[in-house]
Structure 1
Amino acid sequence: MPRLPWLDEKQVIFPPIDTALSEPNGLLAAGGNLHPQTILSAYRQGIFPWFSPGEPILWWSPSPRCVLLPSKIHISKSLQKVLRQKRFKITVDRAFPAVMKHCAASRNYTDQTWITPEMYDAYCNLHTLGHAHSIECWQQGELVGGLYGIAIGKVFFGESMFSLVSNASKIALVHLCAQLERWQFQLIDCQVESPHLRSLGASSMGREEFHEQLNKFANPYPTGAESERPTLWKLDGDYNG
């Protein structure tokens, strides 16, 4: 691994994001901590933690950045058909820990996960504080899909999603986008591009433009206690989709 800036565990000050490595893309720093204020500060600057078991905390700011505008999600004809059939019940913040555990479960193509016990505890803590949120997709009373992320200002920072049945995570994302659009959110950060995300309408954004979007929409409050005010997530009721 290339030599990286090592962050102090007690007082985390991130280096400028334009100093991130190009290979591996976006690797910025190591060390620090996963305290709520550290993670929130990182996201506001376009930085997120991502590391495997046995590694130090690694911080990333890749460029280009994969983003999705809530109003621009692509719903294919086949997905439209599933939505009309109303196979699933959609809820918000009803099962955050369970969604994280499903996202951390081993996938068919790997036995590793970046959602370490430390990451699980950190994001569950952020959920308790009102910053991290989940969208759950249920079928016959069973949790079969969902996603989670962090809301800051008018930006939703997506972290991970899972599906136990076909289309479940896509349905969760569709309902998330619809809700975010009603709340006038401007951007969903998808972090790293993939064919799956592109098929759903995600696109690439350069680091400079992404940082400008964060300054405009994810840093609406002055520094201090007010800057830590969580987004209030409240539904009139559950959805069927």
Structure 2
Amino acid sequence: MKRRLLGLALAASSLVAGPASAACEEILHLADRYIVCTYDPARETIRVYGVPDGSSEALTYGAVRDLLRQDREFLVFGMNGGMYHPGYGPVGLLVEYGRERHPLNRDAGEGNFFLKPNGVFYVGKGTAGVMETEAFAKARPEVQFASQSGPMLVVDGRIHPRFLANSDSLYVRNGVGILPDGRVAFAISRGVVRFHDFATLFRDALGCRNALFLDGSISSLYAPEVRRNDRFAHMGTVIAVAGGLPY
């Protein structure tokens, strides 16, 4: 009888958890700690959300949760997904549900976004990728969701050429990379780190040949598995992993 009750309890918990089960862990790299969460785009629902058309209000994780509930889904994981202008409009490419809401930005400028090479995180049908902007413009892969940011952290296995191993620019940073098996790895530092060290996390510790910086000043995370809910974060773009609610 006890075994039967245990089996029923496990079945019920799997319904609540949904198909996307978070896989977050803390990693120590070069004396700094990072939270790394990995998801398989072939099995789990990864999306990019921007501020709704006509709105100048920032996105929050609470707003994304409310949006998902309309389709009987829940938020498994969330991370700020790229840079934005005042008014929270995207600086670069934004694609939602196959619709290009903002075009690819190949301009020159000031700030991290324009520290070339920059790049694009994208999700297709059962796949995901990180690609340098000019390569993305040439290949034009078919995507369902995409967000452009910059700079690239790792390009084809090489650290961004502008990063300095002894830089004194220290911030909490977050980014995204693609693991050798195709899973998506999202990482955020526990404390302040330099670009170079953050990039080596993706290349050397995670084995990513391509990785993209998402932000530093507003780095945030929603990951109940590790008890993180940065509910006061205000964002222009959110990368979310969604799970289905039981009927």
Instruction: Give me the TM-score of the superposition, normalised by structure 1.
Output: 0.30
Between Structure 1 and Structure 2, the one with more helix by share is: 1
